[in-house]
Amino acid sequence: MIRELYEEICARKIDVKPESYTSYLFLKGEDKILKKIGEECTEIIVAAKNDDKEEIVKELADLAYHCLVLLAEKEIPIEAVLEELHARRGKISKIGERKVVDQL
Ligand X SMILES: N=c1c2ncn([C@@H]3O[C@H](COP(=O)(O)OP(=O)(O)OP(=O)(O)O)[C@@H](O)[C@H]3O)c2ncn1[C@@H]1O[C@H](COP(=O)(O)O)[C@@H](O)[C@H]1O
Q: Which is nearer to ligand X, 64 or 87 (CB)?
A: 64
Cα-to-chain-centroid distance, residue 3: 12
Question: Exactly one of 3, 7, 16, 21 binds ligand X (CB under 6 A); which one?
Answer: 21
Site size toward ligand X, by CB under 6 A: 11
Q: Which is nearer to ligand X, 54 or 102 (CB)?
A: 54
For residues 30, 39, 84, 11, the Cα torsion angle rounded to the nearest 10 degrees is -50
Span from 2-10, 47-55, 73-81, 91-99 in contact with ligand X (CB under 6 A) = 2-10
User: How far is residue 89's CA from residue 102's CA, in Å, rounded to a whole number?
Assistant: 13
Say if CB 36 and CB 65 are below 8 A apart. no
Question: Exactly one of 6, 12, 26, 72 binds ligand X (CB under 6 A); which one?
Answer: 12
Say if CB 59 and CB 47 are below 8 A apart. yes
Cα-to-chain-centroid distance, residue 5: 11
CB of 104 to ligand X, least distance (A): 40
Q: Does 33 bind ligand X (CB under 6 A)?
A: no
Residues that bind ligand X (CB under 6 A): 5, 8-9, 12, 17, 20-22, 39, 62, 65
